[in-house]
């Protein structure tokens, strides 16, 4: 099956007065039609910048300094903003964390939904209007026709996120990027929005990159999970590999720090001690070494290579290299 997106050795840096900050280091992954990839990690792990690199929304200081991003087999790394504006919304739909920052507060919802439909699907105003109402109905906005005339502030947070999902899906994109889509919502609304995403993923066979710091959110929706730390992939594998056979100390730490509703006896959650590294001056060896309870001498001086443990399960850790040599 063809890849919807293929990212090879992506490197993204921000150029600040204090120096170059390497935010994404050598990240590679592929996504096929209908697959869902969850990217997890703490704040500052590089997960959002990875997807902002795909969208080429890096502002004035960010730059892709290496690698390839193939969409439909075409490398978009050197494409200009004009070209990217034809891809964003049409080939790639986006759902961001806070719907209020994605919607323009001074335009009515109908206008904001209609414009990209007219642009990307080349429909007339009345056809686009019809499609916009259809999309609002699809995501469960009641009285969709009249709600087209409302401003974003007239919707609740959950309803705004539904509008964003309608916008993301309106032009039938091959890929949907959802960056912390439920973080700004309260718990019951989070569940509704995730249900909605699950439904669309199933019905439309959408390919989704789902970014979250919450492992519970990806467990339900993702096929594969990529665990990022300090701009690098620390572990990648199927949901089963990551949840039932995690190998990287950071993945294990993340899993220990989230509640498990299936456990009969509630255990104390164990946080990962310490802070993520300063990317202006990262550790020389493994970036997780200052926080890792298993750090060895080699971890302090040399960054581990990625090791493939089994089909679709990769880890970047000296501990695993050692076990493999001994085994």
Least distance (Å) between residue 48 CB and ligand SF4: 22
Residue 304 binds ligand SF4 (CB under 6 A): yes
Angle subtended at Cα 307 by Cα 290 and Cα 22, rounded to the nearest 5 degrees: 50
Asked whether position 165 contacts ligand SF4 by CB under 6 A, the answer is no
Instruction: Give the separation between CA 162 and CA 141, rounded to whole angstroms.
Output: 7
Q: Determine if 286 is a binding residue for ligand SF4 (CB under 6 A).
A: yes
Considering only residues 20-59, where is the footprint of ligand SF4 by CB under 6 A? none
Cβ 4 to ligand SF4 shortest distance, Å: 31
Contact 40, 226 (CB under 8 A): yes
Q: What is the DSSP string of 9-40?
A: EEEEEEEETTEEEEEEEEEEEEEETT-EEEEE
Task: Pick the closer one to ligand SF4 by CB: 114 or 247.
Answer: 247
Question: Which of helix, strand or coil describes residue 236?
Answer: strand
The answer to whether residue 288 forms part of the interface with ligand SF4 (CB under 6 A) is yes
Least gap, CB of 177 to ligand SF4 (angstroms): 28
Q: In the range 220-249, which residues lie near ligand SF4 by CB under 6 A?
A: 249
DSSP assignment of 29-91: EEEETT-EEEEE--TTSSHHHHHHHHHT--TTTEEEEEEEEEETTEE-TT--HHHHHHHBTTT
Q: Which residues contact 263 (CB under 8 A, 6 or more apart)?
A: none
Q: Name the minimum Å distance from CB 234 to ligand SF4.
A: 7
Question: Which stretch in 73-81, 85-93, 138-146, 314-322 sits in contact with ligand SF4 by CB under 6 A?
Answer: 314-322
- Judged by CB under 6 A, the stretch of 141-149, 196-204, 266-274, 296-304 that binds ligand SF4 is 296-304
Query: Residue from 110, 299, 313, 314 that binds ligand SF4 (CB under 6 A)?
Result: 299
Q: Of 37, 196, 295, 314, which one interacts with ligand SF4 (CB under 6 A)?
A: 295
Cβ 111 vs Cβ 129: under 8 Å: no
Query: Strand locations in 231-305, DSSP E?
Result: 232-238
Supply the minimum distance, in Å, between the C-beta of residue 252 and ligand SF4: 10
Contact predicate 37/29, CB 8 Å: yes
Question: Which pair of structure tokens corresponds to residue 176?
Answer: 């949907």
- Of 89 and 249, which has the nearer Cβ to ligand SF4? 249
Q: Does 302 sit near ligand SF4 (CB under 6 A)?
A: no
Q: Which one of 42-50, 126-134, 179-187, 312-320 is the stretch in contact with ligand SF4 (CB under 6 A)?
A: 312-320
Phi then psi for residue 259, to 5 deg, are -70, 145
CB nearer to ligand SF4: pick between 22 and 248: 248
CB of 41 to ligand SF4, least distance (A): 14
For ligand SF4, which residue of 294, 301, 312, 324 counts as binding (CB under 6 A)?
A: 294
Should residue 76 be labelled a site residue for ligand SF4 when binding is judged by CB under 6 A?
Answer: no
Question: Regarding beta strands 36-40 and 207-212, do their DSSP bridges make them parallel or antiparallel, or are they unpaired?
Answer: parallel
Residue showing tokens 């502030």: 153
Which residue is it, tokens 């910048």? 49
Footprint on this chain of ligand SF4 (rule: CB under 6 A): 249, 286, 288-289, 292, 294-296, 299, 304, 317-319
């Amino acid at each position: 099956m063809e890849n919807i997106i293929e990212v090879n050795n992506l490197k993204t840096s921000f150029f600040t007065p204090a120096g170059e900050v390497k935010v994404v280091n050598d990240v590679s992954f592929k996504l096929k039609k209908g697959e869902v990839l969850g990217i997890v990690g703490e704040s500052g792990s590089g997960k959002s910048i990875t997807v902002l690199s795909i969208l080429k929304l890096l502002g004035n200081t960010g730059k892709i300094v290496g690698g390839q991003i193939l969409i439909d087999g075409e490398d978009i790394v050197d494409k200009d903003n004009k070209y990217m504006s034809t891809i964003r919304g049409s080939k790639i739909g986006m759902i961001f964390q806070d719907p209020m920052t994605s919607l323009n507060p001074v335009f009515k919802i109908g206008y904001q939904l209609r414009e990209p439909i007219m642009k990307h699907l080349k429909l007339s105003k009345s056809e686009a209007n019809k499609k916009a109402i259809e999309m609002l109905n699809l995501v469960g906005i009641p009285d969709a026709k009249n709600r087209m005339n409302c401003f974003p502030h007239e919707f609740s947070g959950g309803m705004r996120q539904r509008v964003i999902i309608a916008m993301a899906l309106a032009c039938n994109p091959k890929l949907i990027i959802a960056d912390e889509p439920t973080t700004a919502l309260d718990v019951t609304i989070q569940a509704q929005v995730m249900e909605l995403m699950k439904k669309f993923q199933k019905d439309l066979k959408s390919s989704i990159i789902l970014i979250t710091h919450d492992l519970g959110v990806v467990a339900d929706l993702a096929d594969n999970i990529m665990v990022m730390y300090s701009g690098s992939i620390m572990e990648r594998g199927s949901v089963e590999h990551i949840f039932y056979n995690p190998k990287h100390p950071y993945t294990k730490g993340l899993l220990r720090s989230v509640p498990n509703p299936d456990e009969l006896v509630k255990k104390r959650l164990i946080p990962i001690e310490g802070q993520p590294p300063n990317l202006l001056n990262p550790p020389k060896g493994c970036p997780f070494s200052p926080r890792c309870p298993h750090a060895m001498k080699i971890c302090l001086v040399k960054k581990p290579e990625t090791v493939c443990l089994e089909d679709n399960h990769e880890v970047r850790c000296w501990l695993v290299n050692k076990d493999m040599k001994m085994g």
